[in-house]
Chain A
């Protein structure tokens, strides 16, 4: 892919962060408004795909120097760990806990273990899709 489109590249530098921040917002909003880990993850993927289209694979790999396969693993561990963590409290597998807490800056916030699980989903979605795109795209 020839990547020398100045307008696209300049716009991407701004738009990427907007999409990325929006995806984070969507992720956190999930429990009460439309959104969640799955959509959030996909949106992040879309942002990275935009980067890929504007620049090339190598640049993106340098900008985001993660092994996305590890991100899949971390996500799966997080999700499974959350589900299995309930054993420690002697409650059945996958029992969630929640409550409202006062946090500095945020005020009273509703915290939920489901969010940890959702974060796992988010990471797996981002990790898998980017892994696939990178491997297929990098295959020449």
Chain B
């Protein structure tokens, strides 16, 4: 079986969910959903063994072969790791959601359909080898995230957060698409593997830097990097299982995945290293600093996620340095990629468990406001233990997995100091310093999160409901995750061998042949190294800051609200809405006359300008058909009828005269041997005159608007200009044949290819069938438009009649 199909398993299963939800009401729909991620997890776990030995697997499903676009699942260390995270944490989150979401009150069918859609999208991102299908899945994650954030769509905050995340991430996605297109132009392929192989020829291309910036915009918006992180705190309006899944463990890591995946392509660039490392480190600091300010449990976790994503991002940026060094002393630079992947795994575990605990606290106490919480330790011992393990891992303390990756992170940041290209010899010292400060704040908010919730005085009277320990089912998932956090500390090298090293090889192709070549051994005790002193400093200073928090937390109020990034976003949205409204009100006068004027004005200016700029105006009298007496007679009738239309005193006369014009035009078609046109024109005239007669009694009197002389002159100018333009174009078009006429082709093929005899009709139904299809669609829409406008007006009139 082609394993590319497994990407689509969740979304195909989603089709069944609404039916299961409707028919089997007394079983929580989540139990059916749970099967999917569990199956997929087991399936993807079977790849691990082969990946260990450096195998890769490819499975292809053609989509648009003519454009070289396909769904190609490419399984290497990185893809397998992410696929396992997506399905593994997905399974735990679904299990958790079964107890979190009430089966009677919640619209579970919507929820699980979105969730499964997301799962497919996410698997698609991490397995796609084709950048176009990668982009498709990328946007699908934005859409499903939008739907999930807005799941409680009756809440204003939910809709606001959903829109914000969608606008920012889709903006980034579109930029990324531009980057992909540039890449495919430079590398002459849509396949990531081939792009990596062609990377040397791309360096120095004029688009190279632009492509880096565009792709990084996609990665930074998705992974909530500074200054785009503002959507993530607002995304916390989503149900907590969603926050745990999308907004901490998987979707926000798509940007990291993208950076990791494209490292071999862009590693040679100075811009790449500086941007990824710099922005990552800035985000790390910014997120950790502002996390302490938050009072909502989930907001603290959101900022902490932002900060941790920045940490991993900076490590991935630093990993590109390894491509620029060789020989002795280069081993130290290879730590970054390893540390990044390792921390990514750790983060998914502890942050997932922390979100679930935050959800439990919310569920059992009715609030997430940390100021109202406290002393829950004795009431919720299991939740406290999980929160404690998660937080301590986040703070980087032993004996938890986070300690190991934090040490590796510090090693990598210190190593940047020794890198001597791209001005790193002067600026390199900044990296470890910022990393250290950010780590101190990470320590502070970790303690803040766990101890202000679970320790201290009980404030039961401040809580909306009486707190109690969560039901057993709800605790399973966070306990599993917390257990993994502890286990990782004791068997780090096994985890590294199975998951980290294959992913490092996939990320840094060219540096390693085989996962076993990654010569990094993790040990909890690594001597009295600078990293250890830094950690001791973090603990010391962090603890001091935590104890004195109440005194300095006020400092955050110094920053005025209107100077924040959120205020910038809000004012941009306001400007967009009011500005666009003002713009459209400026020209939407509500008068048909104005709209016709705009249209005619543009038709006249654009076409005449084109005629003169292209120097296309030409009259060739020789090719005109001879005009006989009938023709002259018909022309005279038309002119007379038109004059009647203009000078008619009543509408009825004008309508009849207009019909006369139409019938005379039909006569022209007869004279010049166009039976189809003549027939159609005749019938159309008949129907439209009848239509006019039906409608004319609703039209206002001819003179009611009191046309002034000025309007009359204006109308005359517009009418004359349109008439002259159309005549000029008709003459020019007739007088020069730049390309051979297509009519010969029609004559040749109408019978052989289309089995028809009447070219006009065959054009309508066959040669240009698309046009006809859309035209009849427009006709149908017009009918519905007329119907609804008339009926809507009717109902309003009836109401006002009743009030009389």
A contact set with B: CB distance below 8 Å: 26, 30-39, 42-43, 45-46, 49, 52-53, 68-69, 72-73, 75-76, 79-80, 83, 94, 96, 98, 110, 112, 114, 117-118, 120-121, 124-125, 127-129, 131-133, 135-137, 139
Within 8 A of A (CB), among B550-599: none
9 A-B pairs with the lowest CB-CB distances in the bound complex, closest first:
A32-B757, A128-B783, A36-B761, A124-B776, A42-B683, A34-B675, A98-B755, A114-B765, A131-B783
Given known A-B contacts A39-B676, A42-B683, A112-B756, A136 and B765 have beta carbons under 8 A apart: no
What total of chain B residues lie within 8 Å of the partner, measured CB to CB? 41
Cross-chain pair count, CB within 8 angstroms: 147
Contacts A76-B780, A128-B782 known; list 15 others, CB within 8 Å. A31-B755, A31-B758, A32-B756, A33-B758, A34-B675, A35-B679, A35-B758, A46-B683, A72-B784, A76-B776, A114-B766, A125-B776, A127-B783, A128-B779, A131-B783
When C-beta atoms are compared, the residue in chain B nearest to A75 turns out to be B776
C-alpha gap A128/B779 in the complex (Å): 6
State whether B787 touches A131 (Cβ < 8 A): yes
When C-beta atoms are compared, the residue in chain A nearest to B683 turns out to be A42
Kindly provide the distance from the CB of B755 to the nearest chain A CB, expressed in whole angstroms.
Answer: 4
Residues of B within 8 A of A72 (CB): 779-780, 783-784
Residues of B within 8 A of A124 (CB): 776, 779-780
State whether B690 touches A31 (Cβ < 8 A): no
State whether A43 touches B770 (Cβ < 8 A): no
C-alpha gap A7/B300 in the complex (Å): 86
Residues of A within 8 A of B27 (CB): none
Residue of A34, A114, A139 touching B760 (CB-CB under 8 A) = A34
Residue of B676, B776, B791, B794 touching A34 (CB-CB under 8 A) = B676
Residue of A34, A68, A127, A133 touching B679 (CB-CB under 8 A) = A34
9 A-B pairs with CB atoms under 8 Å apart are: A30-B758, A83-B773, A94-B769, A110-B755, A128-B783, A131-B787, A132-B782, A135-B787, A135-B790
Chain B 771-791, CB within 8 Å of chain A: the 1/0 string? 011001101101110110011
Given known A-B contacts A39-B680, A46-B683, A114-B756, A121 and B761 have beta carbons under 8 A apart: no
Any A CB within 8 A of the CB of B271: no
State whether B676 touches A76 (Cβ < 8 A): no
Residues of B within 8 A of A125 (CB): 776, 779
When C-beta atoms are compared, the residue in chain B nearest to A139 turns out to be B790
Any A CB within 8 A of the CB of B627: no
Residue of B684, B694, B761, B786 touching A35 (CB-CB under 8 A) = B761
Given known A-B contacts A76-B780, A135-B790, A31 and B756 have beta carbons under 8 A apart: yes
C-alpha gap A89/B242 in the complex (Å): 43
Residue of A36, A52, A128, A137 touching B676 (CB-CB under 8 A) = A36
Residue of B694, B698, B780 touching A128 (CB-CB under 8 A) = B780
Residues of B within 8 A of A26 (CB): 679
Residue of B698, B765, B777, B791 touching A117 (CB-CB under 8 A) = B765
